[in-house]
């Protein structure tokens, strides 16, 4: 039991004293994941909507592939991105291995299937209600996709939050492509791994607690905001 | 919205462009976990103005990464594995940096009764009594050394029963955590052990034996094999590390008054 109190105390201490190292890894964690999440949404939301609303050859296959990519282990993604970004790999000339950019790319590979897959599911349910309308109005594809995304925006928040959760919590990919370099690519999860292997268990757990608190805060804010806005627009 | 996207992209590019005066050091984990780099890198930065970015993985992985040209400097501790690296033309020479010793650690109540035994007799005892032993099993320098000891006793560790011989396949620290959790013996480098925090009642057995010497060597990654490597900067860091000046720093690194590394 002692270690729980120890780590809670350590967590409070780290937060109250605004520990410099903590702030650094904390913000890098969020910087990497937010950028990856943003890019994934930019691609994944339209892609998912497109898959849900359009019928074409190979559509089912594509949906199946995207859904199975959701279960990719982060380590495999890390390895895949590492092989490509390595100086001996095809994109080695970019010179971005062991930088935050490499971590962002790895997280996009992880998050994109989640966003696209969940979006497909959410929009598909909606599509039955609107399909006839859009067909009869002969709306262009881009307009249709935009309309669907805007209409489903509150449900799509779930997909975005799932992507955020995956990105912020994974360690397997970023530790391979980032290398856990001090002041450069060290994030919350890689720090936790490192402190665990130093035997600093209570510090590692304390960092976990801080990550959890942040995650809860974000989720609560977004959820409350979502229902507030929903009430205002649609009433209840 | 467009402005937002553009500013995000610019932000991304800024984080991509690194300071030119930096090198990537592929290293064994023990030097990072023992706090060696936290201690020595600020001195290097102060003297040379070079930022050393450390990627700490097992010796096997560090050598593999270096063979993919993903590093400028390599510091590892496994002479046999380094030999292969040099034979493949990735490095001309191994430069001695420092050394310490491997140790066997285990629970204080000593179920296998190995206190006062040398390392080979201790390993024999583990085998005979089938006492819990946790191995790295990750092709790291420490793992390699441990396997060599079994080999020198004419025992084939790959055929050991999982009833008592467990391979974790993870870093040294994670392996010690496992050993502590299972009340088992394990084989580690002394620096990692001394700076390790989750020891419970574990103590060192067979300490400072000359045949358990653990030598840390540095390699400059050959520019012939890897034209992009920053060999000039790496060379400057290496000559700093092997200078008399740095030796003073190295022997002064202590954990609870115990010296972590020695120099010749």
Q: What is the mean pLDDT of each run of 10 residues along chain A (236 residues)?
A: 83 89 93 95 95 92 95 94 92 90 96 96 89 88 91 92 95 94 93 91 92 94 88 73
Of B196, B197, B163, nearest in space to B182 by CA: B163
Judge contact between B76 and B70, C-beta under 8 A.
no
**Separation in Å, CA of B228 to nearest CA in chain A:** 8
Reply yes or no on whether the pLDDT at B12 is more than 70: no
Please report the ipTM that was assigned to this predicted complex: 0.80
- pLDDT at A122 (0 to 100): 94
Helix (H, G, I), strand (E, B) or coil at B93: coil
Reply yes or no on whether the pLDDT at B115 is more than 70: yes
Decide if A87 and B195 are in contact by the 8 Å CB cutoff.
no
Judge contact between A212 and A192, C-beta under 8 A.
no
Helix (H, G, I), strand (E, B) or coil at B37: helix
Decide if A201 and B198 are in contact by the 8 Å CB cutoff.
yes
A-B Cβ pairs (cutoff 8 Å, strict): 86
A181 CB within 8 Å of a chain B CB: yes
Question: A2-231 has which fold?
Answer: MetI-like fold (1.10.3720)
- pLDDT at B38 (0 to 100): 92
Q: Tell me how long chain A is.
A: 236
Q: Which residues pair with residue B23 across a beta bridge?
A: B52
A90 CB within 8 Å of a chain B CB: no
Q: Which residues pair with residue B186 across a beta bridge?
A: B105, B134
Decide if B198 and A88 are in contact by the 8 Å CB cutoff.
no
Using DSSP bridges, classify how beta strands B51-56 and B22-27 pair: parallel, antiparallel or unpaired.
Answer: parallel
- pLDDT at B39 (0 to 100): 94
- pLDDT at B33 (0 to 100): 87
Judge contact between B235 and B246, C-beta under 8 A.
no
Decide if B11 and A101 are in contact by the 8 Å CB cutoff.
no
Q: What is the mean pLDDT of residues B167-174?
A: 89
- Which residue among B11, B54, B173 sits closest to A198, beta carbon to beta carbon? B173
- Which residue among B5, B69, B173 sits closest to A87, beta carbon to beta carbon? B69
- pLDDT at B211 (0 to 100): 85
Reply yes or no on whether the pLDDT at B16 is more than 60: no
Distance (Å, rounded) from C-alpha B196 to C-alpha B175?
11
- CA–centroid distance for B173 within its chain: 11
Q: What is the DSSP letter of B191?
A: H
Report pLDDT digits (tens) over B28-59.
Answer: 988 998 889 999 999 999 999 999 999 999 89
| Segment 117-156 of chain A within 8 Å of chain B by CB | none
Q: What is the mean pLDDT of residues B218-237?
A: 92
Helix (H, G, I), strand (E, B) or coil at B187: strand
Please report which confidence band the pLDDT of residue B11 belongs to, taking 50, 70 and 90 as the band edges: low
- pLDDT at A95 (0 to 100): 86
- pLDDT at B256 (0 to 100): 85
- pLDDT at A2 (0 to 100): 80
- pLDDT at B8 (0 to 100): 65
- pLDDT at B257 (0 to 100): 87
- pLDDT at B104 (0 to 100): 94
Please report which confidence band the pLDDT of residue B13 belongs to, taking 50, 70 and 90 as the band edges: low
Buried b (16+ CB within 10 A) or exposed e, A22-51: bebbbebbbbbbbbbbbbbbeebbbbbbbb
A73 CB within 8 Å of a chain B CB: no
For chain A, the structural domain boundaries read 2-231
Distance (Å, rounded) from C-alpha B166 to C-alpha B184?
10
| Segment 37-96 of chain B within 8 Å of chain A by CB | 37-38, 41, 53-56, 65, 68-70
- Chain A residues near residue B177 by CB distance under 8 angstroms: 196-197, 199, 201
Judge contact between A53 and A131, C-beta under 8 A.
yes
Reply yes or no on whether the pLDDT at B17 is more than 70: no
A99 CB within 8 Å of a chain B CB: yes
Which of residues A129 and B242 earns the better pLDDT score? Answer: B242
- Which residue among A35, A98, A196 sits closest to B174, beta carbon to beta carbon? A196
Phi, psi of B75 (to 5 degrees): -125, 115
Judge contact between B166 and A191, C-beta under 8 A.
no
Which domains, from first to last, does chain B contain?
2-99+215-259 (3.40.190.10), 100-212 (3.40.190.10)
Decide if B53 and A179 are in contact by the 8 Å CB cutoff.
yes
**Separation in Å, CA of A100 to nearest CA in chain B:** 7
Phi, psi of B15 (to 5 degrees): -75, -20
Report pLDDT digits (tens) over B174-220.
Answer: 999 999 999 999 999 999 999 998 998 999 998 777 889 999 999 99
């Amino acid at each position: 039991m002692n270690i729980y109190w120890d780590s809670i105390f350590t967590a409070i201490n780290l937060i109250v004293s605004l520990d410099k190292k903590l702030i650094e890894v904390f913000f890098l964690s969020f910087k990497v994941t937010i950028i990856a999440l943003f890019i994934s949404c930019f691609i994944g939301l339209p892609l998912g909507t497109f898959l849900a609303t359009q019928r074409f050859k190979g559509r089912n296959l594509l949906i199946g592939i995207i859904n199975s990519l959701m279960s990719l282990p982060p380590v495999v993604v890390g390895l895949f991105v590492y092989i490509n970004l390595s100086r001996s790999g095809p994109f080695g000339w970019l010179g971005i291995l062991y930088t935050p950019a490499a971590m962002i790319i790895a997280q996009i590979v992880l998050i994109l299937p989640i966003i696209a897959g969940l979006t497909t599911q959410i929009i598909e349910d909606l599509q039955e209600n609107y399909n006839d309308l859009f067909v009869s109005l002969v709306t262009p594809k881009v307009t249709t996709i935009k309309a669907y995304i805007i209409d489903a925006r509150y449900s799509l928040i779930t997909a975005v939050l799932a992507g955020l959760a995956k990105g912020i919590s994974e360690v397997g990919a970023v530790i391979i492509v980032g290398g856990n370099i001090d002041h450069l690519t060290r994030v919350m999860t890689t720090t936790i791994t490192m402190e665990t292997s130093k035997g600093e268990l209570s510090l590692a757990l304390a960092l976990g607690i801080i990550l959890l608190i942040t995650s809860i805060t974000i989720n609560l804010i977004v959820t409350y905001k979502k229902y507030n806005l929903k009430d205002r627009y649609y009433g209840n | 919205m467009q402005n937002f996207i553009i500013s995000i992209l610019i932000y991304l590019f800024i984080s991509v462009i690194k300071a030119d005066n930096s090198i990537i050091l592929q290293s064994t984990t023990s030097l990072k976990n023992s706090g060696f780099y936290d201690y020595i890198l600020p001195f290097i930065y102060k003297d040379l103005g070079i930022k050393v970015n450390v990627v700490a993985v097992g010796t096997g992985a560090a050598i593999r990464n270096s063979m993919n040209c993903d590093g400028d400097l390599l510091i590892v501790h496994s002479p046999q594995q380094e030999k292969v690296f040099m034979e493949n033309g990735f490095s001309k020479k191994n430069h001695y940096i420092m050394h310490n010793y491997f140790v066997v650690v285990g629970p204080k109540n000593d179920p296998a009764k190995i206190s006062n035994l040398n390392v080979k007799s201790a390993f024999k005892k583990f085998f005979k009594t089938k006492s819990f032993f946790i191995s790295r099993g990750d092709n790291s320098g420490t793992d390699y050394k441990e396997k060599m000891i079994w080999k020198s006793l004419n025992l084939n560790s790959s055929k050991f029963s999982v009833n008592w011989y467990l391979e974790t396949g993870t870093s040294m620290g994670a392996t010690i955590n496992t050993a502590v959790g299972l009340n088992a013996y394990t084989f580690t480098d002394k620096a990692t052990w001394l700076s390790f925090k989750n020891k419970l009642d574990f103590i060192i057995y067979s300490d400072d034996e000359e045949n358990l010497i653990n030598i840390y060597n540095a390699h400059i990654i050959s520019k012939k094999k890897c034209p992009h490597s920053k060999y000039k900067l790496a060379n400057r860091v290496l000559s700093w590390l092997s200078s008399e000046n740095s030796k003073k720093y190295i022997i002064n690194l202590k954990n609870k008054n115990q010296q972590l590394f020695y120099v010749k």
